[in-house]
A and B are shown apart, each in its own frame.
Chain A
Amino acid sequence: MKIAAQEKGKTRRARHSEQMILFAVANRMFAIAAAAVQEIRSTDSLAVSANEIEQSEILKVRHTLERSHQTYYVVNAGAHFGLPVTRPTLVLILRQLRVAVLVDRIERMVDVAAIHSLPLAFAGEERRWYRGLTYIDDHVIPVIQPSGFLTTEEFRRLDRATNANSAPHDLEGAFQA
C-alpha cells in the first residue's frame, strides 16, 4: 500500500534549473521566473509615469503605467492574493504581458531545479495563480503564473475603463483643435 507509487509523477524536474526571483508581499514569499520579468523599479521612480484609473470593478488595479507606447495595468499583489494591506516599494514589470505587479520587496534570486505540481486539493483561484510549488531552504514557496494576475475578461474590463477615461480628453482636444 504505497500511495506514492500509485501517484503519477508530480514533480517537474527541469533539465536545467530555472532562475527565479523571490519576492515578498505581506511577509509571504513567492517565486517568479526571472525570464518573466522585464524590469524591476521602485514605486517612487515610477510615480510620475503612473496614472490613476477610475474603475471600481477590479479593485486590485488602481493605476496604469505607460512603457514603450503600451499601457500596463498595475496589480497590487497583496490585493490579488487577499493579503493584508501593505506599502509596496517595488514594481515588477512583466514581459509579454501588459501587467506590472506591486510587491513589498525582493528577497533574492535562486536557481530552482524542480517545481512540484499544485496538489489537486487546491481547487480554487490558486490553480490560475500558481505554476506549482517549490521547496527552498525548508520553505514551500508558490511559483507564480504570470498570466494569472489578470484574466482576459479583466483585461477587457480594464481596457474599456481606460478608454472611457481617456475619451473625454480626446474630445476636449478635438474641440480645441
Chain B
Amino acid sequence: MIAEIQNADANSYVLLHLANRRFALPSAIVSELAPPVRLHTFPHTSSLVSGVIVRRGRIVPVYDVASILLGRTSPVHRFYLIARRTFSDGPESSAIPVSGECELVTAELQEASDNTLPHISGRLLVDDESIEVLNFDALLASDLARHNAPLRAETRP
C-alpha cells in the first residue's frame, strides 16, 4: 500500500474503516498502514490522544477519532493508519486505529451538502456509497473533538 500511496495523485484517497462506517483521507497525508503494535499509555490531559505507539524508531501519538466520528471508542481495531497532522511548529506523524483493511481509491471530490462541519471537506461516491472525506487537521482541532473526547485518556490500560 505504501508504494501505491507514493504514486498517488491529487484525487487519491485512502478509505478507512471505523466500526461499520467508511471515511476517506487524502492519500497525500497518509504514509502507511501499520500493524497493531502495542499502545503505550501514560498520564496526560490531552483529549482524543489515547497513547503512543513506536513505529520505525519514532514515537507516534494515537488519536481516538472514532470518539468524534462515531460518538464512541471503536471497540476493535486491527491496524493503525499513519497520517500527517500539521501543527504551527511543523508536521507530526499521527496514528488512527482502524478496524479493517484500507483501500486506495481515485475519485472526484464532491462538495459536502452540509458545509457546516469543518472536519468534512467533501464526499466521494464509491460503489454507490457516499463517503465523507475528512479534513484531518480540522477534525482533531474541532470543538466536536473537545466535546466528544474523554476528558482524561490516561486511565486506559
Contacts and interface: CB of A to CB of B under 8 A. Distances in A.
Interface of A: 1-4, 6-8, 10-11, 28, 30, 81-83, 116, 119-126, 129, 133, 135, 138-142
Contacts of B61: 119, 121-122
18 contacts: A3-B82, A3-B84, A3-B93, A6-B90, A7-B91, A10-B58, A11-B58, A81-B154, A82-B154, A120-B89, A122-B61, A124-B45, A129-B44, A135-B59, A139-B40, A140-B40, A140-B42, A140-B59
Contact of B44 (A1, A30, A124): A124
A126 B91 contact: no
Interface in B23-81: 28, 31, 38, 40, 42-46, 49, 52, 54, 56, 58-61, 63
Given A124-B44, A126-B46, A133 B90 contact: no
A13 to B, nearest CB: 12
A123 B46 contact: yes
B152 interface: yes
Nearest to B47: A124
B67 to A, nearest CB: 15
A126 B52 contact: no
A123 B60 CA distance: 14
B129 to A, nearest CB: 26
Q: Secondary structure of the B side of the interface?
A: strand
A138 B38 contact: yes
Given A6-B84, A30-B42, A120-B89, 10 more contacts: A3-B84, A4-B56, A7-B90, A81-B154, A120-B87, A121-B46, A126-B43, A133-B42, A138-B38, A140-B40
How extensive is the interface on chain B, given as a class?
Answer: 20 to 34
A4 B90 CA distance: 11
Given A4-B93, A126-B43, A140-B52, A119 B60 contact: yes
Given A139-B40, A140-B52, A7 B92 contact: yes
B92 to A, nearest CB: 5
Given A1-B6, A1-B31, A122-B49, A8 B90 contact: yes
A119 B54 contact: no
Contacts of A4: 31, 56, 58, 93
A133 B140 CA distance: 22
Nearest to A80: B43
